[in-house]
Structure formats: structure tokens, C-alpha cells
Structure 1
Amino acid sequence: MTSKNTSSENQTPPQGLPKVNQVTADDIRASLKAGFSDFLARPVMSGFFGLFYAVFGILLILCLVWLSKIWMIIPALVAFPLVAPFAAAGLYEISRRLQTGESFGWHEILTVMVNQRKREMGWMAFVTLFILWVWFYQFRTVLVIVLMDSSFSDFEGFLNVVFFTAEGWTFLAIGTCVGALLSAVLFSVTVIAMPMLLDREMDFVSAMLTSIAVVKKSPVVMLAWAAIISITMLLSMAPAFMGLILTLPILGHTTWHLYQRAVE
């Protein structure tokens, strides 16, 4: 597999889509091991990205409470792990440089991240935001239709309505099904596309199609990986988001190594 410095802007995009490999459970284990090694190699730098993401999550929830948008807290918590690949861009570059033996510091990593605005990563951000907008819109629609006769003035009251009433159970069932579908779509188009766009000169549509091809070729293993990411991220958010300082870097580094095993 060809790895290159993302600061280069003048290479010709490859013709056609890259060949994808079958991903196995052994690949997941090996990638996790390599991701943990990358974290231990640069724990402070890696942990910084996890801390930044955790602080962003705390500020997001506080902002929703301040704006009295109590109903948005649950969809925000569900959607929060889905935007992790953007926070992990710096982690992909750390793993890439560790793998190639290149020396680097804060300047090199942050420069690569800033340079992504000139490349295809911005279009991937647009795709992600569009899917998240659909998620929030359908959540609000189901909320109004199913819970229109319910009232709640705070987050605790909202939880009581959702978890302890028949209307709330209906709302959860519909929301879970739609949310699972949108999450599967977003995972499929981004899981490999994000590190690939940082690593290679290619258009975002080709990156998304390659990512989908990887998921289609190994659906059980890749969906298992999606479940691992989701459960780990949600559990990490429980202690005031602080668990993300450790788990986000490891998952980010792991995704880089999984991408390299999945795509030739």
C-alpha cells in the first residue's frame, strides 16, 4: 500500500477504485493492538485529541441545557460518536508517521489537519452533517407525533416520559430503528473513507464507495467493529465524557491500521 505525506497537493488521483480485502476478526484484534501501541508511543499528543473531543461534548450538552433544548440531548448523545472520525484525523496522521518512521511534532500534525480544508475532507463533513440533520429532523418529527400530549420541563421529566410511558416506548422503538439505519449508513460511508482521504489523493465519492465496498465484503466483522466503537464511545461518555481521553485515541489509531488492512 502506498502511503504519502498529505501536504503534497499535486499528485494525479488514482484511476478507478482501490481493491478491498476481506476483513477478519484477526484483523480487528491486530489493529487494536497496533492502535494501542501508537497511543503508548505518543500518549500526550494522542490524549489531547481525546480531551478536545470530551470538552466539546461537555460544552454541547451545557449549550443545549442553556438553550432549553432538552429534547435534543438524547439525539445529540447518540450522534456524538458518529462525528468522531473528524476528531481522529490528527490521530490517523500520527499513526501514519509512526508507521513510516517520520519525525513529527505538534506543528506537523496540526498543519496536516488544517490542510484538509483544501482537500476532499470538507465534502465528507458536508455528507456527515447532512445525515446528522436528517437524524435530528426525524427525531423531532417522531417526538411531536408520538409525544405530542406529553409535557416535560427538564431532562429528568423528559426521561420519565420516554422510559416510563407507553408513548415513550413507542417513541424509543421508532427512533431506535431509524437511528440504527442512519448510523449504519454513516458508518459505512466514513469508516474507511476518512483515513483514506487523509492518506491518498482521491475524490470523496470514490472514498465513500471504497468504504461501502469494505463493509459489503465483510459485513459481519465490520458491523461488529461498528458495535465495538458505539458501545465503547457511549460508555466513555458516562463519566462526564472523560473516558474519551483514552478511548478516542485508541479507536482512532486502530481505525488507521484497519484501513490499511482493508484496502490495498
Structure 2
Amino acid sequence: MASFHVIAGADDRIVRPGIRKIGFADLTDALRRGFDDFMAKPSHIMFICIVYPLVGVVLAAWTSGGGALQMLFPLMSGFALIGPFAGIGLYEISRRREAGLDTSWHHAFDVRLSPAVPAIIAVGFFLFAVFIAWLLAARAIYISIYGDVAPASLTTFVSDVLTTSQGWQLIIFGGLVGFVFAVVVLCTTVIAFPLLLDRDVGAYEAMATSVRAVAANPVAMAGWGLIVAVLLAIGSIPVFAGLIIVIPVLAHATWHLYRKVVEPPLG
């Protein structure tokens, strides 16, 4: 592995990749290409991603048994915040397929050989910090409305949230705060990990390039964020089973989104 470097690339230079303008047609094409990557070897990708619905079931059981039912939704929705990091192995599969290389499932773990691993870890720590901050914020909102008392049961809690003024306060304030966290993650990491796999530009420039990509394409990137949120919500409905398909398709599509919005290096 190359020397430990995080802020800049391996040669300590800050290189600013060029940004293209994209539209909604590019988003749909990225999704189509992501689905094509998924269908190329769906059994391998599904094997890798079955961990996501399993984690969802475990979290549901843990919160219900640990007197923390009020944290189930923040925990599950928080997956969207760390999703860009969780999909990194699938970006590698798409990269290899694009290059005409072998795409067997074990190559998803080739990320560990990338010279950009230190920068990838740094951005991963950033996402984990955002995830923890979201959980703390969600807990503070719940306590400010209901007090430090756990719900008696999931059924009672859901009914209370949907039918009382306190519940709607929780939905509104929690939704607004969650939206802010989601925007931060979208702006800073939407194409950061694919960029680092493709080019070792350093953590700072990878995140800065994501910010520039969103600034240059605010409407399209907002649309992408909405697509991700809707598909994750749909995939979570049947006991999280749909995530086995949704997660890899979105991850592969993110690689193709990166290819569309970031210009290739000169030379």
C-alpha cells in the first residue's frame, strides 16, 4: 500500500477533477446501467447484500427488546447516511465490469488493495460521525416531546405517532432535522467514494468534488437524493427484503452517476 495519505493524493498534490452538467435523463440512464450491472451476476451481489435486511431485522429485535423502540426508525433511516460507504465494494464491481475485468463477487473486497484506502477510511469516519450525530439529535427530539420514557410497544408507539399532536411534532421536527443530515451527506459524498476508487485524489478533494458536483447540478442531484430515498423506503417495506435488490442497484448506479458528472483525467 502507498504511504499513508488522506488530505491529498499519493503525490501530495491537490488535483481538482472537472465537473459536467447532467440532467434527469442521465439519472435514469445511471439507474438503468446500475440494474444491468446487478443483473450481470445477481446471485453474487445478492449474497453480498443480504447482510442489509438481516441487519434491519436484528435492529428491530434489539430495539424492541432493549426498551429503545423510539430509536428504530432513526437507526434504520440512518443507514441511508452511511450507505455511500457501505456500497464501496459494489462500486468496485461496476468499475471492473466497465474495464472488462472479472467481476466475481470476491473482487468486491479488492477495495482493500486500493492506494486510496486511507482517504476512503477518512471519509467513512466522517459518515459514521454524521450517523452518530443523527442518532443523538433524534433521541434529543424524542425526549423533548415525550420525555425520557420508552414506548410500551411498537404498535402503541406507531399509533401514537400517527394519531396525536405529539406524534406529528415528532414526525415534522424529526423529518426536518433528518433532511438536513441527508443533505449534508449527499453534498459531501455523493460521488466521493467512486472517485477515490478511480483516482487517488485524497479525502478532502473527493468530498470537495462532491460539493462542486451538487453545486453545478442542484436540481439533478436533488432528484438523485429523492430517488435514493424513495427506493430505500420501498425496499424496506417487506421486512427489509427489498433492500437485497435496491442496495446493489443504487450502488452500481452511483458508479455510473460518477462517470457522468466527473470528467475523466486529462491525458
Partner of 1:207: 206
Partner of 2:132: 133
| Contact 2:114–2:197, Cα closer than 8 Å, also in 1 | no
Equivalent residue pairs, number: 257
> Residues 113 and 162 from structure 1, CA distance in 2 versus in 1: closer, same or farther, beyond 3 angstroms?
farther
1:259 equivalent to 2:258? Answer yes
Distance across 1 between alignment mates of 2:150 and 2:196: 45
1:20 equivalent to 2:33? Answer no
Partner of 1:94: 93
> Residues 149 and 68 from structure 1, CA distance in 2 versus in 1: closer, same or farther, beyond 3 angstroms?
closer
| Contact 1:190–1:208, Cα closer than 8 Å, also in 2 | yes
| Contact 1:146–1:167, Cα closer than 8 Å, also in 2 | yes
Distance across 1 between alignment mates of 2:116 and 2:202: 13
Q: 4+ runs of 1 displaced by more than 6 Å?
A: none
Letter in 1 for 2:111: V
For residue 263 of structure 1, report the CA deviation from its aligned partner.
0.5
**Any idea what the Cα deviations from partners look like across 1:42-64, whole Å, max 9, x if unmatched?**
21222223212222222222222
Letter in 2 for 1:123: A
> Residues 67 and 229 from structure 1, CA distance in 2 versus in 1: closer, same or farther, beyond 3 angstroms?
same
| Contact 2:31–2:253, Cα closer than 8 Å, also in 1 | yes
> Residues 198 and 62 from structure 1, CA distance in 2 versus in 1: closer, same or farther, beyond 3 angstroms?
farther
For residue 80 of structure 1, report the CA deviation from its aligned partner.
1.9
% identical aligned pairs: 31
TM-score (norm 2): 0.89
Distance across 2 between alignment mates of 1:13 and 1:260: 24
1:124 equivalent to 2:123? Answer yes
| Contact 1:50–1:247, Cα closer than 8 Å, also in 2 | no
Letter in 2 for 1:224: G
Structure 1 range deviating more: 146-155 or 193-202:
146-155
| Contact 2:82–2:131, Cα closer than 8 Å, also in 1 | no
TM-score (norm 1): 0.90
Partner of 1:43: 42
Q: Which runs of 5+ in 2 are unaligned?
A: 4-9
Letter in 2 for 1:27: D
| Contact 1:162–1:168, Cα closer than 8 Å, also in 2 | yes
What is the Cα-based RMSD across aligned positions, in Å?
2.1
For residue 151 of structure 1, report the CA deviation from its aligned partner.
6.6
For residue 204 of structure 1, report the CA deviation from its aligned partner.
1.0
Distance across 1 between alignment mates of 2:58 and 2:114: 26
Partner of 1:245: 244
Q: Which runs of 5+ in 1 are unaligned?
A: 1-7
> Residues 86 and 140 from structure 1, CA distance in 2 versus in 1: closer, same or farther, beyond 3 angstroms?
same
Structure 1 range deviating more: 174-183 or 109-118:
109-118
Distance across 1 between alignment mates of 2:134 and 2:115: 26
Partner of 2:145: 146
Partner of 1:57: 56
> Residues 116 and 164 from structure 1, CA distance in 2 versus in 1: closer, same or farther, beyond 3 angstroms?
farther
Distance across 2 between alignment mates of 1:99 and 1:197: 16
Q: Counterparts of 1:208-227 in structure 2 under 5 Å?
A: 208-227=207-226
